[in-house]
Structure 1
Amino acid sequence: MKTIGLRLALYFGLTILLACVGIGVFAISYSSYILEEAAERTLPVYGNGTARLVENSLKTQLATLDTIAQRNVIRELNWPEQKSALSKEVDRLGYLHMGFARPDGQLMTTNDTTVDISNQSFFLQALEGRSVIAPYQDTSENTIMLGSPVIDHNDNIVGVLIAAMEWRKFNDTVAGIELGSGSPFIIDNQGQVIAHPDYDEVLHQVNLIQRAEYDDDYRDLADFLSNSIIEGTGRGHFRLAGEEYYAAVEPLGINDWFVVVEVPRAEVMAPLNDLYKVLFVITVLLLFLGLMIAYLASRQIAFPIRHISQHYARMASGDFSGTLDVGLQKRRDEIGELARGYQQISRSLNRTITELEASEQRFRMITENMVDLVSLTDLNGYMQYVSPSHESITGWKVRHIVGRCVFDSMHPDDVETARRLYDNIVRSKRPGTGIYRIMRADGEYRWLETVGKPLLDARGKVVSMIAASRDIHERRQSEEQIRYMIEHDTLTGLYNRRYFENQMQLLDEQLLVPVSLIICDIDGLKFVNDTLGHQAGDELLLTAAEIVSNAAPEESVVARIGGDELGILLPNYSAEPANYIADNIRKAIANHNASNSNILSMSIGTAGRDTPDLSMAFVFKEANQQMDREKLLHNQSARSAVVDVVMSALEARDFVTEGHTDRLQDLSTAIARKLDWSESRINALTLFARFHDIGKVGVPDAILFKEGRLTPEEYEEMKKHSEIGFRIAQSSPDLVHIADFVLKHHEWWDGGGYPLGLKGEDIPLECRIVAVADAYDAMNSDRPYRQALQHDEIIRELREGSGSQFDPTIIKIFLQILGEDD
């Protein structure tokens, strides 16, 4: 008794111990793997995010410097005026200093110093017409230098505008980026540190790759950085000063700089320490409890087993008169099962037969009440038995189904496959599964999934088949819908690029010739999205898809293969009919544009192969290159067409009082004539007065026609119309010369306007004239949110705005025109 108990306790305890150890090893190994995977997956994301953050910040500063370089006060090369303007920008932008460098490299700065930078690479690159940013060190200070070419009115580079940003400030900005437990730093493509949490690394111009030549601790890091720079990006781990790190390298996109994000492996694996403790405690507790339970349980097993085995021995000798203790029969464990089993075996054969009959009755009740379809067929497929559930699924009564062949109600397309499956089950004597459609009594087809199992006689011969079927109609429809979504573009309903490329690969495998391919690129779609909105862009894309689909043959594959690209795959089509289809598309576009106020333009390229030696990838490349050549001819005309539509939309929306444009042109012209302007300049002013608010076509009607004051959020949205108008004007050859005026026509004399915050003479004179004329006509006309003001009120408002919103000189001239010059 003790021996059995001790053995059970020992085996049970050993099993628990091994299980705990195994689970612990697995948990630790898996957790380590998960933590390492998470680190290697997350660090590139942090690195890319940091790179984009720094890159966008630097590009924003370059864009600001480019804007300053385009001002007239900078381009006129008057250093005192330049210095005054640049000193203000230094205060506004927080630079150390700014300056102007002549082509000979003499840099005059706002710090009243002159420096020779003629041999500096950033200066030479800027003279070539590129905006640059580069580190710069001299004996007095460490700076990041930004340079932008200054171009005069004749498009000649007359110098370089320079801004010096404190290197430490840039370094602190990079080091201050929050990345959890990781830290970022920046290197160039030679390994020299540009920004680092330890600023001394920057001050001493440390090169982490060259450092490995005299410091072995840095060799692993140097190899990692070198490989990452060569590859353009990288992730992995390295050992430095006895500690292992995980790291990721991402390109910055400026000056071949790279962002490196590193985190110590010890920090990544820190959560494992708590896991060790928890696993140890759980193992000890489970081992103790398991040993106690095993020991107590073993004492309740040995004696009952011996007692029951004696009764089984008597039964084996033919004595069925023995009876076990009722207490053993009532036990709720395996010993109780043995005891009750003995009692059942000792019962009469009558009870056994009765139970078999009851079991058969229960089986019939199950088959007749189950939801799934159960049937029995002979070897030819004729129904011998079907469960009542067939009536609810098929609509046929059971008596109409029995005796019929199962293949008679199947969909004709599925019969051959089902017969092969049926024959295979009979021949192999193994179960099989099939999916097919059956016709209901109302003529509708529904999908079923059936599992068939052969029934064998005593000699192992198949005599019939039993099948269990389930209605999967809804599931099948969902699968087909998912398959459709995987292969089709959600907006146009055409095939997507994935399906298109699969078809090209299939043609390569089949070595099919001839094959032709057409690529259609919608010209100016991005510009339509930027100016008229994405809804207009979607409508344009749908129109293009419809035209291409209608022109393509039925056996072709039409797909949306890019944001603005459609493709047609033409198996068994040579180059001549493919070019004919492309011409039909061009004619359909022309017909569409003739009858619709639309701006659809497409660049089309065709290519084909008549030998299987050419891959479809090569054919695609040829068609794409042909499309690119045609696109070079279309780009400008397409963008001009967009501007024409914008002008039409501007007139159609009628967002200003009737006659406002004409009055504004007359008032502006009157002021210009007082200033003795030439007719050519007056004509440009008149055109600007007409289209100064063209950007409002991109402002929602709910804001444009709102009665009452705009909310701060709505006002910010309204302010965007200057920049929208600027982009539209730049895209039209007829308006490009007034684009700068459109951008700046809401600037105030005191610098309180938008979008650039210009002040005084920095604001083009045309903008100052139109600002006064526009304000006068706005106050003199009814608006959705107020009635027109009285004449005296208008004069008072103009005078109060002189010197703040308006140019005092223009106000004085305008009041003279109105007869209010007192």
Structure 2
Amino acid sequence: MKVRTKVTLIIGLVILCMLLLLYLVNKEILLGGFAQLEELLMRQNVERALKALHVEIDNLERMNHDWASYEYTSTLTGNSGEKYFEPGLIDETLQTLGIDFMAFVDDSGQIIMGRGYNRTNSKATPLSGEMRRHILAGGILERQTDKECKSGILVLSEGPVLIASCPVFHVDNQGDARGYIIMGRFLEQRVIGQLSRVTNLPIDIYSFNSKRIQDDVADKLQYASSEETCYVKPLNDHTITGYVMIRDIYGEPGVILQAEAARMVYMQGQTAMVYILSIFLIAGFTFGVAVLIILEKMLLSRLAYLSGSVSAIGASGDFSSRIVMGGNDECKTLADDINGMLAALEQSQKDLQDSEERFRLLAENARDIVFRLRLVPEFAFDYISPALYSLAGYAPEEFYAHPGEIYKLIHPQEHYILDNLVSGKPLEFDLKKPLTMRWLHRDGRLIWVEQSTVPIYDEHNNLVAIEGIARDVTVRKELEEQLKYCSWHDSLTGLYNRAYFDMEMRRLESGRESLGLIICDVDGLKLINDTLGHDTGDRLLQLTAKILKGSLRQGDIVARVGGDEFAVLLTNSDKRVVKDICRRIHKAINNHNAVDPDLPLSLSVGFAVNDKNTGLRDIYKEADDNMYREKLNNKQSARNAIVRTMMKALEARDHINEGHIDRLRDLVVDMAEHIGLPEDDVEKLCLLARFHDIGKVGVPDGILFKPGPLTGEEVAQMQRHCEIGHRIALSVPDLEPIAELILKHHEWWNGGGYPRGLKGEEIPLACRILAIADAYDAMTSDRPYRRTFSREEALAELNSCAGIQFDPNLVTAFIELISKVN
């Protein structure tokens, strides 16, 4: 380092230290005092805003008290029925009073009349159900003396509301209260804007449970020693904010009142400090310049010549050059010594060039990146092999000219490594061990690199450079991440799998926090798989996973632990929290079933909570038992819902909605009566007529609606609908009596039918009757793929198939029946 530079640095360092000391003193004394004054002013502003809000509440209470004192109000509360209120309580009254709802309650706590007012459309609305529940629960009316009104804030789902409740007495103000009158005004932007104008402050009021409140603010306010303790927090250098929590009418945390103000005092203090520091800096700079001028004339000019000559030789690389300097002082001696070293360097340069040529050929032909990073005296690259371009898309010359560009190559989350190297502080990692890190290709792609380095130290054991090799390991890293993900996740739903869930159970077993466990089982999944196919069952499992994830909190663990079973681990959760999450799950299921009834979802849910003395395995068994108990209760209703959905799907896909079922039922009933079947068989025939083709829900639309002839494989899939319908009927008690009939309703008299190839009277009588009626209705009804047969043509076709497809005796009886009816 040059003497001039050293002197300059010493002077600059002294000035900088003095400047820093002056800055710290000013910051602690000057800005500290301004900050305290600023906080005091902010607390006063919040108190003004809080007083303005209390004035609003008091005004509402006084207005309520005035109404409660009217003779007309006392008379009304003694009557029941809303008709008594129509003359006195009209829409214009609510608008004039500036309130959003009003309710009259009798002395027994029952609501005589309640009405709201929608300011958007200027119309009256019914009192909300949530408000009615608060009134009927008694919380708003309790803790009132006979002569005292009660007012405060109530947090509803629609938002915070100012509320006042006053007792209503007889005209002479004697005796017990005849009832109560309740008025409410929502804390909407209109009201908050009025408070802002009154206090001349930007004010905001929102629910204590709002996501807008920061965690540190919520903790400070919730555990404050006083109910209306103000918490002041600077947002930045320009704005300071004050918060105060206001409890609701039940004494629970209700809303947060937030006020903001400009940090004028603080900014004035900063400006003053800048002026002081600037004056000191100018004076120090003047002193430093004077010292440098004197030193330059006495010593630095000769040293500068000597240094310039050495630099010129170094820049040219010609070590055969020599320095010429007159005089007989230390500078002359130094010049002679340098000339001696130049002679030695001239020989060393030749040897070094030979060695570097061999190294260059090796490095430039390698596929891995070879580099040398210099840290002292400044951050720079001495060498980067050309492989950098093929690996990352950057040319080495870019980093030679601008070493800082290396930050573009390194992933932002890995910048701490470079920062640690550049800072000169003790390293937080071992350079002698391979380091895996992320790079960014010029085109934005992520590259994983394994870097092996060798640290270079000087004689004082200071790290001065790093030499290393960087290798692309992106493919290996991606395979590792994929294997890791697959080892802990279910491939179908993307949730954690049983292995991860068991690991978390073992980890949490030794913990002391309160844990909740929810076990869910998909109802009717086997029936869905057997009838609608495993693709539909998989979609149901994926839907279940989506609903569960959407119903849980961040940090909760949900896993698929079996084919149709899911488990949820809830940390720091008591019984109330777990019940609330179960309700959210059921609500999400109901919402889905309302929006998408074609694929209904039913979950059996059981839960348990540990009491810090119960093992997690016991809790798991308890939750599983509770789930199984609910599954037993819901089993049949879930199956019935699935069957109903299947029928609706069949009606939408097939021709049932065209009256086919009704006509078919009439035909089989008439036929049964014509041949004298008992009443029980007639009822089975009616049920069979409705559900005989329910198995078609498992047949793809492309086959069911194909206009042309089916291929052999498509015919086989179509014929499976008998077996699918048979399995569906067996799962529903109401359809179980006709399960065998559904299976056999496509058998032929000569044994050429399916699925079992039965013939003659081996085929149940009901199936033989249904086959004839179904064929007749199909021929005499409009179908998109053929013309409609006349009655005579249809009967002739049935007669020609008698003994082949149909029972000949039943065909004769059916023809007689049709002829008789017509």
- What is the TM-score of this pair, normalised by structure 1? 0.51
**Residue in 2 aligned with 1:454?**
455
Query: 1:407, CA displacement in angstroms?
Result: 13
Evaluate the alpha carbon distance shift between residue 665 and residue 402 of structure 1 in structure 2; reply closer, same or farther with a 3 A threshold. Answer: closer
- Measure the CA separation in 2 of the matches of 1:677 and 1:507: 68
Cross-structure match for 2:796: 796
- Counterpart of 2:354? 358
CA gap of 1:739–1:352, structure 2 versus 1, over 3 A, is same
- Report the residue type matching 1:499 in the other structure: Y
Structure 1 residue identity aligned to 2:497? N
Asked if the contact 2:420–2:428 (Cα under 8 Å) also holds between the matched residues in 1, the reply is: no
Residues 306-321 of structure 1 mapped to structure 2, 5 A cutoff: none
List aligned pairs for 1:333-352, cutoff 5 A.
none
Cα separation, 1, equivalents of 2:469 and 2:460 = 25
TM superposition shift of 1:447: 4.1
Distance change >3 Å, CA 720–CA 502, structure 1 → 2: same
Correspondence for 1:724:
724
1:672-691 matches, within 5 Å, as: 672-691=672-691
* SS of residue paired to 1:603: strand
SS at match of 2:633: helix
Structure 1's 749 and 409: CA in aligned 2 closer, same or farther, altered over 3 A? closer
* 8 Å contact kept, 1:772–1:806: yes
1:486 and 1:655, CA in 2 relative to 1: closer, same or farther beyond 3 A? Answer: farther
What code does the residue aligned with 2:399 have?
A: V
Q: How does 1:11-160 map to 2 (within 5 A)?
A: none
* 2:369 pairs with 1:372: yes
**Structure 1 residues 380 and 675: alpha-carbon distance in aligned structure 2, compared to 1, 3 A threshold:** farther
Q: Give 1:356 shift.
A: 6.5
1:197-242 C-alpha deviation (Å, 9 max, x unpaired): xxxxxxxxxxxxxxxxxxxxxxxxxxxxxxxxxxxxxxxxxxxxxx
Distance 1:803 1:406, change over 3 A: closer
Q: Contact conserved, 1:429 with 1:454, CA < 8 A, in 2?
A: no
**Alpha-carbon separation, structure 2, partners of 1:816 and 1:680:** 24
Deviation at residue 725 of structure 1 after TM alignment: 1.1
What is the CA–CA distance in structure 2 between the aligned matches of 1:599 and 1:429, rounded to whole Å? 57
Q: Which residue is 2:805 aligned to?
A: 805
CA distance in 2, matches of 1:380, 1:603: 70
CA contact under 8 A between 1:381 and 1:406: conserved in structure 2? no
One-letter amino acid of the structure 2 residue matched with residue 572 of structure 1? N
- 2:549 corresponds to: 549
Is 1:582 the equivalent of 2:582? yes
Distance 1:423 1:603, change over 3 A: farther
Task: Identify which range, 613-622 or 523-532, moves more after superposition.
Answer: 613-622
Classify the secondary structure of the residue corresponding to 2:631. Answer: helix
Q: Within 5 A, what are the aligned runs for 1:74-473?
A: 357-367=353-363, 370=366, 372-378=369-375, 382-387=379-384, 389=386, 397-402=398-403, 411-412=412-413, 415=416, 431-437=432-438, 447-455=448-456, 464-473=465-474
Does residue 645 in structure 1 map to residue 642 in structure 2? no
In 2: Cα distance, 1:795 partner to 1:743 partner: 26
Q: Is 1:714 aligned with 2:717?
A: no
Q: Structure 2 vs 1, CA of residues 685 and 416 (structure 1 numbering), >3 Å: closer, same or farther?
A: same
Query: SS in structure 1 opposite 2:819?
Result: coil
Aligned pairs, number: 470
Q: Distance in 2 between matches of 1:649 and 1:562?
A: 29
Find the counterpart in structure 1 of residue 529 from structure 2: 529
Contact 1:425 1:454 in 2 (8 A): no
The two structures have a TM-score, normalised by structure 2, of: 0.51
User: How many percent of aligned residue pairs carry the same amino acid?
Assistant: 42
Contact conserved, 1:703 with 1:714, CA < 8 A, in 2?
yes
For the residues of structure 2 that align with 1:377 and 1:578, how far apart are their CA atoms?
Answer: 58
Contact 1:540 / 1:600 at 8 angstroms: preserved in 2? yes
Which residue does the alignment assign to 1:493? Answer: 494
Q: For 2:517, what is the secondary structure of its paired residue?
A: strand
Structure 1 residue 459: Cα displacement: 11
1:374-411 per-position Cα deviation (integer Å, ceiling 9, x unaligned):
12334899445241645755688223544899899664
Structure 1 Cα separation of the partners of residues 429 and 583 of structure 2: 59
1:775 matched to 2:775? The reply is: yes
Does the residue aligned with 2:455 lie in a helix, a strand or coil?
strand
Q: Is the contact made by 2:375 and 2:422 (CA closer than 8 Å) also made in structure 1? A: no
Asked if the contact 1:388–1:398 (Cα under 8 Å) also holds between the matched residues in 2, the reply is no
Note the residue ranges of structure 2 that are not aligned, 5 or more in a row.
Answer: 1-345
* Structure 1 residue 745, shift from structure 2 partner: 1.2
Tell me, what secondary structure is at the counterpart of 2:658?
coil
Once the two structures are superposed, what CA deviation does each residue of 1:343-368 show, in whole Å capped at 9, x if it has no partner?
xxxxxxx9999786433223135445
Q: Partners of 2:709 and 2:429 in 1: how far apart?
A: 83
> Which letter does structure 2 place at the counterpart of 1:500?
F
Tell me if the contact between 1:382 and 1:404 (Cα under 8 Å) persists in the aligned partners.
no
The Cα shift of 1:795 comes to 3.1
**Equivalent residue letter for 1:741:** L
Q: Which string of whole-angstrom CA distances, capped at 9 and with x for unpartnered residues, describes residues 486-534 of structure 1?
A: 33223322222222222222223x5342222111111111211222223
1:731-770 Cα offsets, whole Å, 9 max, x none, are 2333222222211212223333322333333322211111
After superposition, what is the alpha-carbon deviation per residue over 1:251-272, rounded to whole angstroms, capped at 9, x for unaligned? xxxxxxxxxxxxxxxxxxxxxx
Q: Structure 1 residues 686 and 418, CA, compared in 2 at 3 Å: closer, same or farther?
A: same
Match of residue 742 from structure 2: 742
Deviation at 1:434, TM superposition (A): 1.1
Q: Distance between the aligned counterparts of 1:405 and 1:728, measured in 2?
A: 66
CA RMSD of aligned residues (A): 4.0
Amino acid at match of 1:627: M
- 1:627 matches 2:627: yes
Return the offset for 1:662.
Answer: 2.3
Q: Shift of the alpha carbon at 1:609?
A: 2.5
Is the Cα–Cα contact under 8 Å of residues 705 and 784 in structure 1 kept in the other structure?
no
Do the aligned partners of residues 506 and 735 (structure 1) sit closer, same or farther apart at CA in structure 2, a change above 3 Å counting? same
Counterpart amino acid of residue 624 in structure 1: D
How far off is 1:607 after superposition?
Answer: 2.1
Cα 1:625–1:388 shift into 2, 3 Å: same
Distance in 1 of aligned mates of 2:710 and 2:407:
73
- Contact 2:604-2:630 at 8 Å conserved across structures: yes
Aligned partner letter, 1:377:
R
> Is residue 602 of structure 1 aligned with residue 603 of structure 2?
yes
Given residue 580 of structure 2, which amino acid in structure 1 is its aligned partner? Y
| Cα distance change, pair 401–498 in 1 and its aligned pair in 2 (3 A) | farther
CA distance in 2, matches of 1:526, 1:380: 73
Alpha-carbon spacing, 1:592–1:409, altered in 2? closer, same or farther (3 Å): closer
Range moving further from structure 2, 616-625 or 360-369: 360-369
